[in-house]
Amino acid sequence: GAGVSQSPSNKVTEKGKDVELRCDPISGHTALYWYRQSLGQGLEFLIYFQGNSAPDKSGLPSDRFSAERTGGSVSTLTIQRTQQEDSAVYLCASSPVVTDEQYFGPGTRLTVT
Amino acid sequence: SQKIEQNSEALNIQEGKTATLTCNYTNYSPAYLQWYRQDPGRGPVFLLLIRENEKEKRKERLKVTFDTTLKQSLFHITASQPADSATYLCALDRGGYNKLIFGAGTRLAVHP
């Protein structure tokens, strides 16, 4: 079956613009995670969804970052008034509620100029 | 807070040898620890999970050990192949809902 998909694969935006990143998890996976990976760095946890609710938003770097999930499926990560330090690869992962391994998408490479 | 240390220097080995990668953590012992493989431009791919009450876990040419006294996990690839060349990430749970903390990864290069 299909894996986790993310769109767009690449996004170049000007500083100050808003961007939306999309994640389509594996069908039936109730847990969904967003991470950020900067060059040469480990993955940084941003937010977690269980169904449509986000019990943990502690990783969001600032109030410019927000995320939502609808229908227990697709999730959107929105970054408002983008800054150059937001440039990174944004990765989405999903997992079935009862298992521990996470399935990652290919990521969205965001470049803020 | 929990910190994960993986060797930031690339590991270069000859084909056929065993590669050993190290993951050290500094604080509480996690309920479980995971290893992922990441190729350039791709998302991480799950390889193995080992729980705190397990000493060792194997899958084909892969072996993971977990020493909660040393606060260390070792990841071994036996009979390594050039196709094993990638970055390997160690990840620890933070409890509860599978919120993972990732190390920066170690890049492995297997030379023919």
pLDDT per position as a tens digit, A7-64: 999 999 999 999 999 999 999 899 999 999 998 778 998 998 988 888 778 889 999 9
Query: What count of residues does chain A have?
Result: 113
Query: Any idea what the Cα angle at residue B97 is, between residues B71 and A38, rounded to 5°?
Result: 70
- For the CA atoms of chain A, what is the radius of gyration? 13
pLDDT 10s digit of each residue in chain B, 112 long? 778 899 878 999 999 999 999 999 987 777 788 999 999 989 999 999 998 889 899 999 999 999 988 999 999 999 999 999 999 999 987 666 567 889 999 999 999 9
Q: Between chains, do A104 and B103 touch, taking CB under 8 Å as contact? A: no
Name the residue among A11, A2, A3, A1 with its Cα closest to residue A77. A11
Which pLDDT value is given to residue B39? Answer: 95
**CB pairs below 8 Å between A and B: how many?**
57
Smallest CA–CA distance, residue A74 to chain B, in Å, is 18
Interface check B33 vs A, CB under 8 A: no
Strand blocks (E) in B1-112: 4-6, 11-14, 19-25, 32-38, 45-51, 56-59, 62-67, 72-77, 86-93, 100-102, 106-111
Which pLDDT value is given to residue A98? Answer: 53
Query: Any idea what the Cα angle at residue B24 is, between residues B21 and B28, rounded to 5°?
Result: 150
Cis ω for the linkage preceding B40 (within 30 of 0): no
The phi-psi region of residue B60 (left if phi > 0; otherwise alpha if psi is between -120 and 50; otherwise beta) is left
> Among B36, B42, B98, whose Cβ lies nearest the Cβ of A100?
B98
Q: Between chains, do B4 and A42 touch, taking CB under 8 Å as contact? A: yes
The SS3 of residue B75 is strand
Which pLDDT value is given to residue B24? Answer: 94
